[in-house]
Structure 1
């Protein structure tokens, strides 16, 4: 399966980060009770404003590469009991903007060329992405990153395979989806790779899932949702559900990510489904 993930500048970067890490685990087979998906290929593109929102909301730069985490234990050493995980405090938007090296720096420098982010990643220090509670990929005391099968593309790099209908992906997931991105899907247009991926999905009759994030909704937004639906897209608002023993923010995020992955054809046990027995 070929999947393209588009990350726009709408609020909700936490959804995109979680989805990308889950997909990396599916590619590598490091998810809990989930075998590797040998045929799964994941490419992703960020819009012009997505890195700024990612930094503001998550307190870390948008990574150039997303890797699965593989726990490792040194031979001969007994397993250490797990200690309660305390997620690091994320700085406020003001603090993030004032932090040396990040103030008004914008997204990482992007160069055109096939899969250029993958080649640049060796020279960039990876950011420390907190593992969400309940994640099947929580690393142990010593861990390393598995080689990534999740590729990031520059938004102006039209050498990406999915820029052409002759190599269309099986599904495109826009998460989160801004109202500007929704408008481009509903009415056509756009001059970057993200817009082109959505256009290819529609014209080739492939699945296009838009995880829209805005409130309140204007009549323009609502009409654009109708137009996008009529064109073949699926509107999936980033609205968490709370019937599956949701107790934390991360639990709520997983309810949205799980539903989005359902609609692109990947059913992943991230959260308890309606009618399923609650685990002990």
Structure 2
């Protein structure tokens, strides 16, 4: 799989870091080649929340370098995720405003009917956001809010982050064991009967 990872300017850099850590350690075993691009504010937020320059064995493209191979539909890329994805970036993607490389790469994914996952990090949502989310989904994107789950009983922030990144990897079709999967209530005898 050839994958583009975009990091935009919303709080949530730990989600991007965990994804990139997974791809750099286990991606090769799954046949993944990744390219990375930060928006200007995505890099600023990364520095604030992570506190160190991103160092990964992937090509890192400047956000206005439209010579990147994934800026063209003829390049054989399979999927893209934007994590975190700001509401502004999602809106620009939803309406085809390819003003930067993240937007152009996402536009390519949509027009070529390839997998695009937008890990939205925004709350609360306005009607403008909701309409953009609808437009993105109608265009073929998967909009996945960065909403951690608790049934796996995460012990710390890192394990909470894993609950989101695990589901993001699922959407990309990449096997992972970042979190305990839901298997129903066990044992069944502890389940209270419903009221008659």
Provide the alpha-carbon RMSD of the alignment: 1.6
Partner SS, residue 36 of structure 2: strand
Provide the C-alpha distance between the structure 2 equivalents of 1:152 and 1:224, rounded to a whole number of angstroms. Answer: 28
CA displacement 1:7-56 (0-9 Å, x = unmatched): 0010100100110010001235xxxxxxx23x311011000111111122
Partner SS, residue 167 of structure 1: coil
CA contact (8 A) 1:179 1:212 kept: yes
Query: Which residue of the partner structure matches residue 172 of structure 1?
Result: 80
CA contact (8 A) 1:168 1:201 kept: no
Query: Which residue of the partner structure matches residue 61 of structure 1?
Result: 52
TM-score (norm 1): 0.64
Provide the C-alpha distance between the structure 2 equivalents of 1:27 and 1:182, rounded to a whole number of angstroms. Answer: 26
CA contact (8 A) 1:44 1:152 kept: yes
CA contact (8 A) 1:45 1:152 kept: yes
Give the alignment partner of residue 94 of structure 2, picking from 160, 167, 186: 186
Q: CA deviation at 1:62?
A: 3.1
CA contact (8 A) 1:5 1:45 kept: yes
Q: CA deviation at 1:152?
A: 1.2
CA contact (8 A) 2:163 2:179 kept: yes
Give the number of the structure whose residues are more often helix, by fraction: 2
Name which one, 1 or 2, has greater alpha-carbon Rg: 1
Aligned 1:102-251 pairs, distance under 5 A = 148=57, 150-251=58-159
CA contact (8 A) 2:120 2:146 kept: yes
CA contact (8 A) 2:98 2:107 kept: no
Partner SS, residue 201 of structure 1: helix
Partner SS, residue 49 of structure 1: helix
Query: Which residue of the partner structure matches residue 15 of structure 1?
Result: 15
Name segments (4+ residues, structure 1) moved above 4 Å.
none
State yes or no: 1:45 paired with 2:42: no
Q: Which runs of 5+ in 1 are unaligned?
A: 29-35, 67-147
Q: CA deviation at 1:190?
A: 2.8
Q: Which runs of 5+ in 2 are unaligned?
A: 187-196
Change in Cα spacing, 1:194 to 1:168, as seen in structure 2 (3 Å) is farther
CA displacement 1:40-95 (0-9 Å, x = unmatched): 1101100011111112222x1332x31xxxxxxxxxxxxxxxxxxxxxxxxxxxxx
Partner SS, residue 4 of structure 1: strand
CA displacement 1:208-232 (0-9 Å, x = unmatched): 1000011111010011100100000
